[in-house]
Structure 1
């Protein structure tokens, strides 16, 4: 029976240990997970971060426009939007940052040249849908035409043939047509004067209602499928289904035109789009007469390799030596922002313009440069003489454009107030182009991966934040690879890659906010408040335990009563007090209000009372003062309770959140707990990064507790014992 009781106790202890440790274990495991694994159901204790290889889903695209995301304000003021030059594989999966990358290009088809006459004959044979336009530029650019068709129908952000949307719209139009036919049969059929025609048309409509209902049922099955976009085979099947029903009314009467127009607008327009796309796609596949004989294999470059590549790309820039010296001294980080800052300072010094006016001028000039870039105007050539000539050229090409007119009017206003305004504006425009060229070279270097093996026409492989892959090609249009069913890329990881993958969330979390500063603030505030509290609490506890003065017990009771007041009640009065002192966003507000703890005083007093009174008497006989007796006898003998009090205060200060959030406005004074807010927003929480940040945030506290736990246990256990 005794052994059974022991077994039961051990089981309870094991169960309690598991329950206590499980949340921390789950936090640690989550900190290693990839984004898609965080919200997976059912939850798993494993993660693909430990895998030695992975397949990543991708979606091919071309012509992606660069964005200002991730640029500093200074860079954004001179940002010129440009389209990518290669095939872009958008990662529709968890991002990746390293490994041996294999892109399945083997077996893909393409062409080097296309007969223009044959292409134009093909265009003339097409029936262009009413909602698709072909301008002069596309008419003379086969690759541009194919790209527009593919992006519009299957590869774009909102493709026409997106499965659920297309089938719902098509079914909705069939339903609308059925309602229209029903209305004609109920209210409009009497408008037909010829009785024979009336009866014939009514029979036709009734028959077509049954056929349309059949059609709707057949189309609905395509709403479910493995692919988000309708496949080529499915589109052919839908075309055949619609074409099998002869829905057009051949004769003429008072209602036939209305019926045929409704049919064209609601159903046949969809058939026109399907026929147009399939005809274009078949021709697009037919003209591709060459085949790729190997895959693309690439690996990340080292920092030195990226630096060498950047210097090679910018060797013809006039500021090459200045950029090279900066890269050699500081590396590639912040290169663009520092270069932009240096040319801004040069402009300010040369023309005597202040930074605020220069920022406004850059923004306006950049708008005009963007417009000129879109219209394919040779900006450098037009700026050879003057900025005014450049404006006139843009104006003649653009015609009336509200953005251009507004920017020009504001620049004219600036010009009236500035000396040598034309040269200033000209130099700003040239600097924008210069900065854009540097940014393109920088992005082409910082994102470049080293090609291990690839087809001869592949120039470079750029991996941008693990979220997209751009394959830059020479003399081959990337549009020809959009139809080659590239849906996955393969990654293989070495042992060192796996280790880096496991701790990738920690790296990203650390870089997402100034956690270095948060760590310094947290350690400083926690250490100072702990030291001051121990000193004050020790003195107060000694007074309440070993000194006699009037009202000692009443005063101590009042102290204890304050522990009954919830801390939230004191937030407002404390905030008002701190505001009156002018301590908002200072260390004073984070330290001074928390250097006194009634609980700490109570804990130390109870332990001090447990010390033998003979020690005090002996010390008095030897002439020891209260101050000396406290610090040389009482505190050393009370080491466990002092350490316990210090540890509790340190942990409490380390984990403080609400007060820090209220009294700080800038990262300069904020702590780790407030920094964890970085990973939560209105659109959701990045739990893997949050757990990573939480893990390295609590690590110092855990280490301190491991080294001081014996004092902690001893201090709590012996407090109040005689």
Structure 2
């Protein structure tokens, strides 16, 4: 029974000790949303072969230009070429990077493009409460839906719209109460006054009914009011007639305070429902297939990239870049190559090039806004013709005048017009190359899809782009797409499980952190073993005045908290000029009183006869230490080395305060990359912590016999 209790206690202690590491390991496999789940779970969706992902169709373009180098950024305009015929789907869930994706579009209603003549005839009879783009039916519908339902601040946002409408109704009620005070004074006709009072009483009851009916829609599952709810709100607003048919001096005040605010809201709701109704009548076709796609392998993406680059205009420079650097970071390498060519060709400084590129990008943005085809003009007729056309169309634009003035400041450069022509063309090439590269690297293979689906891309695991052919995406945006389904093969499940490790490794220069940690830990360990061995030998085998007192002073320093020494050590390091160097990380920690004590206690257990025999053979203290004492003390030395290596590997505070750059920082400090004022990426942090501590665990598993033996022997005579 006693043994059973001991075993149970040991098992319980083992579970308690291993639990934090087990939880760290499980968390490192989790998706971002699973980290915040309560109660916490010991499993993750990454272990499953299928997953449903919440999505939302997004109207308008979504610009994803992450990862631009400085050279690219200087060439990249805000008006960079975007796919106009792309249906954007936002992932409102954890990101995904692989698998087979199924988007159930079966039953979606759509049309190719609306008849413009019929559309404009319909539009003539419609009163627009706001200014919308009427360049085409598709632009108009997209503008309307963005304003009312899909924009950054949609008009029909549930809480905002209901709150605004109820406030206007409450304001109207207050206005009626104010008007009632002046009825007897301002209306001389008694019959009219009585009739107006009754009307106001009735309006107050109706306004209160409308307010209570509208307030019901403040709570709902969706943040935006649904089309059905909007139609019901319109019915509520139409239910009562608030206009007064009589005539008296207070009617104008009544219209201003009560009628106009209600009619204003009513016009918006009515306008939207009319547009939606007409929009629905245009959708006469039905999608008969779902969209099914799988992720491309790396070789398939490279093959697609090669195919898409066949029509690239600047083949000469592109081939030079590919020959030198391959396909890795192609847009960045191409942009750097172009910059080098421009500097060499026109003999200008890097500062002049940077400034000119900034001005050219501003000019391009302005020309795009005014629908001037700058690329064709520059390519076929030259930069002077572009300036002539720009001057004619933009002469009243203050922005253009500023840009033109900045360009004129560099007009004395050699071949100025040729330089600007090349800058516009090459900046265009950089944008096109980045677009081709990103689209190819994010492309998925279509397995099954409707005929109008041209390509499918997944960007950053957060956006799905469906490129359409001869169908406007606005006609597919009103369907109730809430989820897409993902299926994973065994290999993809394995990749999903370790995705956090890949992301964590790429989010910071962990390769450099690993090297710094290994180098610092190894250097401090070797130097400490050498210094501690010599000091321990002196305190155990050599006799000199004050030896025991000096050793006692050494031991007394162990009672001083390390934090107390941080400031004086930092000042010393700063005086030496060692901040942000390896010296600061190694030199202060090559002496350890504990290691000296540990080795001294073991050295004392070595028989004195060995020393006497060595002296007879003419052996010096130095030779006796390294050829006799150290080999006999291998377990203790390895124990001290292990403790030092682990302590140095896990050092955080000192490294944090004496390093300023990633060049010298170690793994523990590198883990802070996953924490910020916004929050902490716990799954990435736990993944990084796991592969940071793994080498130490492996080291201990292989050296634990020496560790145990060294501790057991210490202090024995």
TM normalised by structure 1 equals 0.95
Q: Are residues 1:645 and 2:640 paired? A: yes
Counterpart of 1:95 in structure 2 is 95
Given that residues 584 and 663 in structure 1 are in contact (C-alpha distance below 8 angstroms), is that contact kept between their aligned partners in structure 2? yes
Q: How does 1:217-232 map to 2 (within 5 A)?
A: 217-232=212-227
Equivalent residue in structure 2 for 1:391, among 373, 378, 387: 387
User: Residue 388 of structure 1: CA displacement?
Assistant: 4.0
Equivalent residue in structure 1 for 2:682, among 687, 693, 699: 687
Equivalent residue in structure 1 for 2:152, among 157, 164, 171: 157
Q: How does 1:603-614 map to 2 (within 5 A)?
A: 603-614=598-609
Larger deviation: 539-548 or 110-119?
A: 110-119
User: Residue 305 of structure 1: CA displacement?
Assistant: 1.9
Q: Partners in 1 of 2:176 and 2:261 — Cα distance?
A: 12
**CA spacing shift, 1:171–1:615, aligned 2, 3 Å:** farther
Counterpart of 2:51 in structure 1 is 54
Given that residues 114 and 138 in structure 2 are in contact (C-alpha distance below 8 angstroms), is that contact kept between their aligned partners in structure 1? no
Q: Are residues 1:14 and 2:11 paired? A: yes
Q: Partners in 2 of 1:117 and 1:215 — Cα distance?
A: 39
Given that residues 311 and 324 in structure 1 are in contact (C-alpha distance below 8 angstroms), is that contact kept between their aligned partners in structure 2? no
Counterpart of 1:261 in structure 2 is 256
Given that residues 463 and 470 in structure 1 are in contact (C-alpha distance below 8 angstroms), is that contact kept between their aligned partners in structure 2? yes
Q: Partners in 2 of 1:607 and 1:419 — Cα distance?
A: 80
3-state DSSP of counterpart to 1:533: helix
Counterpart of 2:69 in structure 1 is 72
Q: Partners in 2 of 1:36 and 1:398 — Cα distance?
A: 50
Given that residues 189 and 255 in structure 1 are in contact (C-alpha distance below 8 angstroms), is that contact kept between their aligned partners in structure 2? no
Larger deviation: 227-236 or 184-193?
A: 184-193
Q: Partners in 2 of 1:512 and 1:542 — Cα distance?
A: 47
**CA spacing shift, 1:320–1:204, aligned 2, 3 Å:** same
Deviations 1:385-440 (A, max 9, x none): 44343234334434544443333322221334x22222212211111111111122
Counterpart of 1:123 in structure 2 is 123
Q: Partners in 1 of 2:553 and 2:201 — Cα distance?
A: 92
Given that residues 323 and 339 in structure 1 are in contact (C-alpha distance below 8 angstroms), is that contact kept between their aligned partners in structure 2? yes
Given that residues 143 and 477 in structure 1 are in contact (C-alpha distance below 8 angstroms), is that contact kept between their aligned partners in structure 2? yes
3-state DSSP of counterpart to 2:75: coil
Q: Partners in 1 of 2:55 and 2:358 — Cα distance?
A: 36
Larger deviation: 401-410 or 368-377?
A: 401-410
Given that residues 62 and 88 in structure 2 are in contact (C-alpha distance below 8 angstroms), is that contact kept between their aligned partners in structure 1? no
**CA spacing shift, 1:524–1:256, aligned 2, 3 Å:** same
Counterpart of 1:555 in structure 2 is 550
Q: Partners in 2 of 1:150 and 1:616 — Cα distance?
A: 93
Q: Partners in 1 of 2:415 and 2:488 — Cα distance?
A: 58
User: Residue 590 of structure 1: CA displacement?
Assistant: 1.4
Counterpart of 1:498 in structure 2 is 493
Counterpart of 1:133 in structure 2 is 131
Given that residues 368 and 407 in structure 1 are in contact (C-alpha distance below 8 angstroms), is that contact kept between their aligned partners in structure 2? yes
Q: Partners in 2 of 1:642 and 1:205 — Cα distance?
A: 97
Q: How does 1:123-522 map to 2 (within 5 A)?
A: 123-129=123-129, 132-134=130-132, 138-186=133-181, 190-264=185-259, 266-324=261-319, 326-327=321-322, 330-383=325-378, 384-416=380-412, 418-522=413-517
Q: Partners in 1 of 2:449 and 2:508 — Cα distance?
A: 38
Q: Partners in 2 of 1:44 and 1:377 — Cα distance?
A: 58
User: Residue 463 of structure 1: CA displacement?
Assistant: 0.8
Q: Partners in 2 of 1:670 and 1:513 — Cα distance?
A: 11
| Superposition CA RMSD, Å | 2.0
3-state DSSP of counterpart to 1:49: helix
**CA spacing shift, 1:176–1:648, aligned 2, 3 Å:** farther
User: Residue 271 of structure 1: CA displacement?
Assistant: 1.9
Deviations 1:23-61 (A, max 9, x none): 111111111111111111221111100110111111112
**CA spacing shift, 1:217–1:13, aligned 2, 3 Å:** farther
User: Residue 265 of structure 1: CA displacement?
Assistant: 5.0
Counterpart of 1:109 in structure 2 is 109
**CA spacing shift, 1:8–1:271, aligned 2, 3 Å:** farther
Q: Partners in 2 of 1:53 and 1:128 — Cα distance?
A: 47
User: Residue 198 of structure 1: CA displacement?
Assistant: 3.3
**CA spacing shift, 1:204–1:514, aligned 2, 3 Å:** same
Given that residues 395 and 401 in structure 2 are in contact (C-alpha distance below 8 angstroms), is that contact kept between their aligned partners in structure 1? no
User: Residue 65 of structure 1: CA displacement?
Assistant: 4.2
Q: Partners in 1 of 2:391 and 2:255 — Cα distance?
A: 46
Q: Partners in 2 of 1:510 and 1:196 — Cα distance?
A: 84
Given that residues 166 and 215 in structure 2 are in contact (C-alpha distance below 8 angstroms), is that contact kept between their aligned partners in structure 1? yes
Given that residues 54 and 91 in structure 2 are in contact (C-alpha distance below 8 angstroms), is that contact kept between their aligned partners in structure 1? yes
**CA spacing shift, 1:289–1:42, aligned 2, 3 Å:** same
Given that residues 62 and 84 in structure 1 are in contact (C-alpha distance below 8 angstroms), is that contact kept between their aligned partners in structure 2? no
Q: Are residues 1:45 and 2:67 paired? A: no
Counterpart of 2:31 in structure 1 is 34
Q: Partners in 2 of 1:656 and 1:311 — Cα distance?
A: 48
User: Residue 330 of structure 1: CA displacement?
Assistant: 4.1
Deviations 1:623-669 (A, max 9, x none): 22211221222222222221111111111111112222222222222
User: Residue 355 of structure 1: CA displacement?
Assistant: 1.5
User: Residue 492 of structure 1: CA displacement?
Assistant: 0.7
Given that residues 176 and 258 in structure 2 are in contact (C-alpha distance below 8 angstroms), is that contact kept between their aligned partners in structure 1? no
Q: Partners in 1 of 2:173 and 2:605 — Cα distance?
A: 93
- Identify unmatched segments of 5+ residues in structure 2: none
User: Residue 715 of structure 1: CA displacement?
Assistant: 2.1
User: Residue 714 of structure 1: CA displacement?
Assistant: 2.5
User: Residue 254 of structure 1: CA displacement?
Assistant: 2.8
Paired residues, number: 713
**CA spacing shift, 1:206–1:419, aligned 2, 3 Å:** same
Deviations 1:673-703 (A, max 9, x none): 2221221111111111111111111110111
Given that residues 526 and 653 in structure 1 are in contact (C-alpha distance below 8 angstroms), is that contact kept between their aligned partners in structure 2? yes
**CA spacing shift, 1:661–1:405, aligned 2, 3 Å:** farther
**CA spacing shift, 1:264–1:34, aligned 2, 3 Å:** farther
Deviations 1:697-718 (A, max 9, x none): 1110111111122222222233
**CA spacing shift, 1:580–1:105, aligned 2, 3 Å:** same
User: Residue 172 of structure 1: CA displacement?
Assistant: 2.3
Q: How does 1:709-720 map to 2 (within 5 A)?
A: 709-720=704-715
Q: Partners in 2 of 1:318 and 1:121 — Cα distance?
A: 43
User: Residue 480 of structure 1: CA displacement?
Assistant: 0.5
Q: Partners in 2 of 1:189 and 1:301 — Cα distance?
A: 81
**CA spacing shift, 1:198–1:715, aligned 2, 3 Å:** farther
Q: Partners in 1 of 2:113 and 2:73 — Cα distance?
A: 38
User: Residue 513 of structure 1: CA displacement?
Assistant: 1.3
Larger deviation: 179-188 or 329-338?
A: 179-188
Q: Partners in 2 of 1:456 and 1:32 — Cα distance?
A: 39
Given that residues 158 and 218 in structure 2 are in contact (C-alpha distance below 8 angstroms), is that contact kept between their aligned partners in structure 1? yes
3-state DSSP of counterpart to 1:599: helix
Q: Partners in 1 of 2:481 and 2:13 — Cα distance?
A: 51
TM normalised by structure 2 equals 0.95
**CA spacing shift, 1:390–1:548, aligned 2, 3 Å:** same
